Amino acid sequence: MRIRRKLGIIAILAAFIGLSQVLTAQPKGVRVTKKDAFQTTRILFILDCSNSMYGMWQSNTKIKIAQNLVSNIVDTLSDCNGVEIALRAYGHTKDYPPQDCDDTKLEVGFSANNGEQIKAKLKALVPKGTTPIAATLEKCVGDFPDCDNCRNIIVLITDGTDECSGDVCAASKALQKKGAFLKPFIIGIGRGMREYFECAGAYYEVSNEIEFSKALNDVVNQALNNTTSQVNLLDTYMEASETNVPMTFYDSQSKKLRYTFMHTFNAKGMPDTLILDPLINYDIVVHTIPPVKVEKVQLNPGRHTIIPIKTPQGSMIITLAEDKGKNTTKNMAVIVRESGKPEVVNIQELNKSEKYIVGKYDLEILTKPRLKIENVEVGQSATTTIEIPQSGTLLLNKGKGNMLCSIFVKDSEETKWVCNLEESRQNESIDLLPGQYMVVVRAKTADKTTKTQVKDFKIESKKTTTINLAK
């Protein structure tokens, strides 16, 4: 029975090694960096050695069954490159009563070829104390030496809940958020603890030896293997037709960036397959305009996971009327906002098509005066074209210069300020939208407000209007 079980795990490990080679080769559609292609997986086994582990369970005591099954796993992991293991125990150094909530100790640290040492220590552990699980999780952070390219994994085996008033869930989440380790695996011997532990990690409830062995094998499989997934970018018809958009994957707990991809269709016209770490819940940002974010995406370890994200898109282009594709206005940009919202989602250039999430947008075009167009609708797979009038030119001759000048536009409702001109320039050229205007001017040296001059003028598209203030 032990040989058959061991062979099964070896097969899993062989698959993992093959997958690691695939990652190194950078499969099509996946951008693998040194950060993503982890070199070492570190597994810390934490074994409950409180006095209740001496209780009979199935064929033997709980501690004896746990020692045997963990020893089998250690045998297998010792033969795997890129894997390091360590052992911590709690409730084994002080008798209970009295209760000692500091009774937790790293028995064997991470190092190469330490399998026999761990097995010997496992065999020597004697249950006697209490159950300080939260304190153990907090202290085990120091068990993992600094490493920029490692995955830190905890496998906790226990037959009871924390007896020291510790908050196991809070401790686990805080340490995951700091990036101390990935989501822990917790194997609970017996029933009735699921609600207590599920918030702390991936919980396995085992009621017999077979389930215990299966749970350990499953944990090893998840710890050592990535899994496949695909992101389906859905249009308004809920079809996966959108693509060619950058995507970033963040650890939901630590908020660290894990992967960056450009969404791609494969040769069959389907979203390409990604290889991801299944132990992480992801916040995914699809960098459409505006970006779309989905949070706490959970993968199905060992199974292909489809991640649907609604990103329906259409296009918008802003052009000059009668421009025939040639931008005659220099340095003009368009500020784009979602309708009714103050945040800027894009600065778009003239005559450049840009994709947007389907919806309505407010445009602010940086002409003089600024032109605002509201509730521009972008539809699925359609192109919305916005034409704006071409500017005309105002030529202003100020004579000797040192003139205070301001331009105002006169629309049907009110007169609005447009811009101020340079004081020292004798001549100025300004591009303005077609319309009725006035220039307000006064010599800088004038000592009376009444020496202000006001002159009305009209601007027409592609024409020049000249005003001589020197007269």
Identify the structural domains of the chain with CATH numbers, from first to last.
38-224 (3.40.50.410), 227-310 (2.60.40.1120), 313-388 (2.60.40), 392-468 (2.60.40.1120)
62: tokens are: 């709980």
Count of alpha carbons within 13 Å of 16, Cβ hemisphere only? 25
Give every residue of the chain whose pLDDT is below 70, as ranges.
Answer: 1-38, 323-331, 401, 471
Nearest by Cα to 42 from 138, 202, 175, 153: 153
pLDDT at 16: 41
Q: What is the CA radius of gyration of the chain?
A: 34
Distances (CA, A) of 100 to 7, 90, 103, 129, 404: 41, 10, 6, 7, 83
Q: Are 380 and 236 in contact (CB under 8 A)?
A: yes
Q: What is the pLDDT of residue 39?
A: 74
At residue 8, the pLDDT reads: 46
What is the pTM assigned to this prediction?
0.82
What pLDDT score does 27 carry?
A: 30
The pLDDT value recorded for residue 132 is 98
